[in-house]
Structure 1
């Protein structure tokens, strides 16, 4: 069982399902990861079992993708002003679709400005970074509603990296949140246990995944190396089937 949850796009799902048809034992879940904002921080919302042809979802994604292009160009321009020029055309080639900050970081690695993608986020592309640029705004609650309206189930992604995420949970649950990521490749057993406790206290499914981005990072988990018990995935599917 695997889920495809690209950032702010469903463009890869058709190809993924075509390939999955060659593997009868594989269950593929159509999904998405929406980027949302709160003051001073960024929140990612996973949507599983979405209707990828939902018109409202696709209209929103067109707006987000246009914003990603504008944001990407702005970051590339800022890097040039910092004496770290990268080619916008090369960034687009690396993206092979929707442009994101990781593709700019990859271009920086190629130019020898940094050794690893993570370094680009630490100094240049992360929030408050020297080349950071804001993007089209979406609230976390809005992301949950967009996923739910598209027939999916919403799960808060890697909450441990979101400041004060516990305070957000009541509002997110009211909007339709059903789970939060607990099982995550970079977390210790104690961190996973703490997240599991929070999920239980708020009656949320303890979800998880590899968060694989194919970025060639030394510590990047491969698909299948991190995730929740199968029964959690089955419960997500059951909830989605009732929509």
Structure 2
């Protein structure tokens, strides 16, 4: 009976090495099947480069792959992420817009490296990219986890979490941010690409008034209630918020793979929800004025 239940569930937030994950898209699909999931979303940061491979792997392995993206935005002075589900990953306008976002991400990364160097840390972007063990493709992106990994490898931090807490998290010594688009713009982009926008991991922003404001202004179709960094209290708050605004409730592990022996943020399938949510997301893609 438990196997039947698991096969009706999905994880709607995972990353691949197309952005700051460790695995290929095909490996994420394999892990999802091993954990008994029926569906998996690929939601890399500001890129859809991993979707095609994941779709092919899902078709071969009998697992539903939801094409997605996680768009970087800014509101209230902090980074806000918006997930887009069922976007047309071949849409030329979307691809051009995501390319611009990756350029912003590159400028942010360069500033972080400069800040680290000013702190006396011997690190270069070349060393960060070298840690990939392969060439970086033009449509892939580098994120803070890559920089954190380099800091651990070079002995400047004990763990990935230590690297973030000391240097990379908001308010930490080397944190940097660049001007970004608003959540409203991201939601519009996602809809224009045929998708359904969902506000990602609201608990990470530690500002529920900001979250409420984003929902009111950007009008996402859904909210990620169940996330690896949400506890029961956060889940209850955002479930109530979803009910208040009539939002689709989603769940995602935010899986990035294993770095320095640690899973970041959570393992595939550690946060999951009924596959029935996919029908609601697809319906949202067909509905205007959400």
Distance 1:215 1:123 in 2: 20
Q: How far 1:39 sits from its partner (Å)?
A: 2.8
Q: Is the 1:9–1:32 contact (alpha carbons within 8 Å) kept by the matching residues of 2? A: yes
Q: Establish whether residue 172 from structure 1 lines up as the match of residue 218 from structure 2.
A: yes
Pairs within 5 Å for 1:65-214: 65-94=102-131, 96=136, 97-162=140-205, 163=207, 164=209, 165-173=211-219, 177-214=220-257
Cα-Cα RMSD = 1.8
Q: Establish whether residue 47 from structure 1 lines up as the match of residue 84 from structure 2.
A: yes
Q: How far 1:202 sits from its partner (Å)?
A: 0.6
Pairs within 5 Å for 1:5-44: 5-23=43-61, 25-44=62-81
SS in 1 for 2:276: helix
Q: Is the 2:256–2:263 contact (alpha carbons within 8 Å) kept by the matching residues of 1? A: no
Query: TM-score w.r.t. structure 1 length?
Result: 0.91
Distance 1:199 1:112 in 2: 43
Distance 1:169 1:234 in 2: 21
Which one of the candidate residues 227, 232, 237 is aligned to 2:277?
A: 232
Q: How far 1:118 sits from its partner (Å)?
A: 2.1
For residues 121 and 219 of structure 1, do their structure 2 counterparts lie closer, same or farther at Cα, with a shift above 3 Å needed?
Answer: closer
For structure 1, list consecutive stretches of 5 or more residues without a partner in the other structure. Answer: none
Q: Which moved more, 1:66-75 or 1:28-37?
A: 66-75
Count matched residues: 239
- State the structure with bigger RCO (CA 8 A, min sep 6), 1 or 2: 2
For residues 3 and 218 of structure 1, do their structure 2 counterparts lie closer, same or farther at Cα, with a shift above 3 Å needed?
Answer: closer
For residues 15 and 141 of structure 1, do their structure 2 counterparts lie closer, same or farther at Cα, with a shift above 3 Å needed?
Answer: same
Distance 1:55 1:8 in 2: 14
Query: TM-score w.r.t. structure 2 length?
Result: 0.77
Q: Which moved more, 1:57-66 or 1:42-51?
A: 57-66
For residues 242 and 26 of structure 1, do their structure 2 counterparts lie closer, same or farther at Cα, with a shift above 3 Å needed?
Answer: farther
Q: Which moved more, 1:54-63 or 1:232-241?
A: 232-241
SS in 2 for 1:64: helix
Q: Establish whether residue 57 from structure 1 lines up as the match of residue 94 from structure 2.
A: yes
Q: How far 1:228 sits from its partner (Å)?
A: 2.2
Distance 1:81 1:197 in 2: 45
Structure 1 residue aligned with 2:21: none
Distance 1:26 1:94 in 2: 31
